[in-house]
Structure 1
C-alpha cells in the first residue's frame, strides 16, 4: 500500500502553491456540492486538492479494496487479526450482515436490549433519582457525550453522573452531592478487571451500603457477580465489540436512562442509516469514505501531523474528547495488521474544542501559526433554543472561520497577514437529534475503519495502552512501602520523593 500512497506525492507537489479559492473557482459546481446522508450534509469544497488528486484517492481506495473491506466488517470476518476477532459494533444497531456470525450477533444485541429495557423500566418505577456511570475510556466517553449532547431530549426522570478518573478527588466531589438512599450505580467494564473502574466501583458499592442498586455491564459476568452485583443486574458485552465502539450496546444503559429507550433506539436508528449509506453509496458520494480519503490526503499527501475537530454547537463540546479515543486509539499504529513495519505516517494528533469559545483560545495559532492544521467544522442548521440572534451569530462565526481558514487575507502589515490555505471539511446537521447524532458518530467510526484499510493497519486492537498499566500494577507495592524487585532508577527516586512528602 505504500506505493499507492506514494502516488499521492506528485499531486501534493503540484498543488503545494495552489490557493484553495482558486481550486474552488476552477471546478464548476464544487462550491455548491454537498454530500448527504439523511440529516447530515458534508462539504469538501475547501479541501486543498483538485479533480486529478481526487482521482488518485479513488484509485487508492480501489487498490486497498475498500468497498469489499466494509462488507467483511459487516459480515463479521476476522478484521481484528491480532486478537483473532470480528468487529461487529454495526450489528448492535443494524441487521446488514449477511453471514450467520453477523446475524447471531444482531440477535444477541436485540435480546440484551430487551433486558436493558426491563431494567430501565424497573429503575423508573423506583425511588432512585440519581445514577452514576462508573467506567473509563469507551465505557465513559461515549455515554457521557451522548447524555450531554441530547440533554434536551431527556426524560427528566434521573440525573446522570459520570465517574471515570481513579483520582479519589473525583469520587469525593461527586458523592458529596448525592444521597445513597436515592442513587444507583452502573459499573461498566468489558473485562471487569479495569483498575480505575474497580476502585471507583468499590467506593460506590461501600457508599451505597450494600443496597441492591448496583448494576454492571460486562463481558465477564462471573467477575461482576463476585464483586457483588446480582446476576439479573448484569448486562452483557461481547469480545466482538471494542470499548470505543460500544455505546450502542448495553454500555448505553445510562443513555437509555437519560433519554428513554425510545430515544436510545432513535440513536441506534440514526447510526443504522449511516451503516446502510456506507455500504450502498458509491465512493464519490459516500460520506465516511470521502471523509477518510481526505484525511489520508492531508496526512500522507500534504503531510499535516495534526487535525482539529471544531463543533459549533455547545452540546457537542465533548465530541473532540470522544473522537480522540476513537481515532487515536484505533489508528495510532506503527506496524501493519500482519505485524510488519510500515513506512508511511498513520494517525494525526486529534484535538479541538467548541466554537465560538475556541476562537478566543487557540485559533490564533490555527490562522497564523507555522503549522497548518486541517479541521472538521461541525454546525447545526436548526437550533433547539428560541434565541435566534445567538444562533445566527454562531453560524456566522462558523462560516467566517472556514472562509478565513481557506482564503486568508493579504495586507501591508505582515503581522496582520492571514496566509490561508488551511483545509477544512464542513459537516452540517439539519438539527441535533438522537438520529443525527447517531449518524454523526457512525460516520466517524466508518471513516476510522476506512483509514485503517487504506493504511493497512488494525483499527480494533490497542496494545499500546497495556505497558503503562502493567508497570503501574508493579509499582503499587513500592508506593505502599513494601519490598519489591529492582526498579528503574528514576522511578525509584521519584517514589522516594513522593513517600517523603506523602
Structure 2
C-alpha cells in the first residue's frame, strides 16, 4: 500500500504558503461578514450528528488544500485497507476490525477472509446479549461491578452513564479500575455478595491492576461465606483457561484485532448490554455502523470524520495549537472527555512514523474538559482571556430527557452564548474586561441523546483520529508507550517490602525509602 507522510507532500508546502498568506490572520468576524453563507458551507449533517464548523479558523480554500493533502497522502486507500481487513497495525501485525463489530447481522457477509470473523462476531454478540437478558431478568442480582482498566473501563463506564435514561430499574452499576484499594473498598462497602455480579474484563486475564482487584473481590466474596463464584463472576477475556482456574465458567471473548480503546462494541460492552438491554445495545451498534458507512463512502469534501481530522492537522501543525477542550452540555456525558482522551492520546500520541523514523510535525494534542456549565465556572476564564488559544468543542442535545421546567433552555443558551463570546469577543480599553475573540470552536448537535446518536458520535471520533493519524504517517492502533512503566513497576514493587535500592537512581531510591511503611 502506497502511503506518503503529510510533511513530505507538495500539498504540505501549499498549505504552509496559504497559512502564511491568509490562514494565520483569518478573522472569524470578518469571515462571517464577507460570506453570508459561511454557516451553510462549513456545517454538515452526518448520521445522527450535526456539526457546525463555521467558527473554525479555516475557509473553503483551507478545506480544499487539506483535501488535496489527504489524497496525496493516500488517506482513502488507507481507509479502504482498514475496512478490508489488511494488517494496517504494522507493529503488531494485526488487522483493525472494530468496525466489523458494528456490522449488522442483516448485512451481507463480508467477502473473503472477513467472512469467518464476521460469523464469530455475530455468535459472540448473540451469546453475550442472551446472557445480559437473563441477568436483567434476575431480580436477585441488584449490583453489577465491572473490574477493568483503560478501554475495559472507560468506554463501558462512559456509555452506561450517558444512557442511564434507557437503563432498566433495579440494577446499580459500579466501575473499578484503579489498583488503589480505596476505590474497590468503597464499592464493596455498599454491596451484598448474594446480590452482586462481578465482571472481570481483561483480554489476557493478566492485566496487573485488574487481576489485583479481581482477586480482592473474590476474597471478599468468599470471606462473606459465599461459595458460588461461578454464578457471581463472569469474565470478558480470551484466556478461558485462566478464567476457569479463577473459578469462572461464563466467559465472552474478543479478538486481537480489537484494540482496548475500540472495545466497547465487543464483549467488553457487556455492562452496557446489562444496563440498556439487547435492543439498546444493537441500537448503539447501529448508530456506529451508520457513521462507519458515512466514513467509508462519503466524498472527502462531505465526509465529516475526514473534515474534522483534517482540521486537527491544520490546527496542530500550522496554528501550532497543542490542546483541545471538550465541553459536553449534558451531564450524562460527564465521562466523555476522559474517554476521548484515551481514544486520541493513546492512538496518536506517537513520535515516530510507520517506519520508525522520527516525525518532524507534532501529533496528538492534549484533550481535556468537563461538562458545561461546570467548566464555565472552572477554566473558561483561560479560554476567553488566556495567552494560549485552545479550540473548544461544544456538544449540545436539543431534546431534554427530563421535564424540569426552565433548565434546558438555560443550558442551551449557555452553550450558544459561550461559542458566540469566544468568537466575537468584547473590547475594553482598560484591558481587564477585554475579550480578544476570534477563538475557534466546533459545535455538535444531537436531536436527543440516544443509543444511536451516541454510537454515531463515538464512531465519528474514532474515524477522525484515524484520519489525522493516517496523515501523520503513524500507527494509531498500538500503544507501546504504556509498557515501560509496567515493567519497572514489577521491579519496584518487591523493593517496597525489602528496602533494596541497589541499581536505582537517587530520586527513585529516596522516594522509595519515604514511601515504605514504618517498621
CA offset at residue 49 of structure 1?
1.4
1:41-440 to 2 correspondences below 5 Å: 41-94=50-103, 98-126=110-138, 127-209=140-222, 210-211=227-228, 212=230, 213-230=232-249, 233-440=250-457
User: Is residue 2:467 matched to residue 1:450?
Assistant: yes
Q: How many residues align?
A: 500
User: Quick one: structure 1 residues 404 and 238, their matched pair in 2 at CA, closer, same or farther if it must change by over 3 Å?
Assistant: same
CA offset at residue 99 of structure 1?
4.2
CA offset at residue 39 of structure 1?
2.0
Structure 1: gaps (5+ residues)? none
In structure 2, what is the Cα distance between the partners aligned to 1:26 and 1:476?
A: 63
TM-score normalised over the length of structure 1: 0.97
Q: Is the 8 A contact 1:23 1:48 kept in 2?
A: no
CA offset at residue 28 of structure 1?
4.2
Per the alignment, residue 12 of structure 1 pairs with 19
In structure 1, what is the Cα distance between the partners aligned to 2:509 and 2:393?
A: 44
CA offset at residue 56 of structure 1?
1.0
SS at 1:18 equivalent: coil
Q: Is the 8 A contact 1:47 1:424 kept in 2?
A: yes
In structure 1, what is the Cα distance between the partners aligned to 2:136 and 2:441?
A: 44
Q: Deviations over 1:95-147 (max 9, x none)?
A: 68844233322221111011112322332343211110000000000000000
CA offset at residue 343 of structure 1?
0.5
CA offset at residue 32 of structure 1?
3.1
Structure 2: gaps (5+ residues)? 1-5
Q: Deviations over 1:128-177 (max 9, x none)?
A: 11110000000000000000000000011421110001000111111000
Q: Is the 8 A contact 1:46 1:425 kept in 2?
A: yes
Q: Is the 8 A contact 2:145 2:176 kept in 1?
A: yes
In structure 1, what is the Cα distance between the partners aligned to 2:25 and 2:380?
A: 23
In structure 2, what is the Cα distance between the partners aligned to 1:500 and 1:88?
A: 47
Segment drifting more, 213-222 vs 448-457: 213-222
In structure 2, what is the Cα distance between the partners aligned to 1:324 and 1:349?
A: 8
CA offset at residue 6 of structure 1?
4.1
Segment drifting more, 68-77 vs 14-23: 14-23
In structure 2, what is the Cα distance between the partners aligned to 1:312 and 1:253?
A: 27
CA offset at residue 351 of structure 1?
0.5
Q: Is the 8 A contact 1:311 1:378 kept in 2?
A: yes
SS at 1:468 equivalent: helix
Q: Deviations over 1:347-405 (max 9, x none)?
A: 10111111011000000000000000011111111111113421111111111111111
SS at 2:432 equivalent: helix
SS at 1:480 equivalent: helix
Q: Is the 8 A contact 2:133 2:277 kept in 1?
A: no
User: Quick one: structure 1 residues 314 and 186, their matched pair in 2 at CA, closer, same or farther if it must change by over 3 Å?
Assistant: same
CA offset at residue 487 of structure 1?
2.0
In structure 1, what is the Cα distance between the partners aligned to 2:38 and 2:405?
A: 30
User: Is residue 2:43 matched to residue 1:24?
Assistant: no
Q: Is the 8 A contact 2:397 2:447 kept in 1?
A: yes
Q: Is the 8 A contact 1:142 1:322 kept in 2?
A: yes
In structure 2, what is the Cα distance between the partners aligned to 1:55 and 1:492?
A: 55
4+ residue runs over 3 A deviation: 3-7, 95-99, 482-485
In structure 2, what is the Cα distance between the partners aligned to 1:256 and 1:125?
A: 13
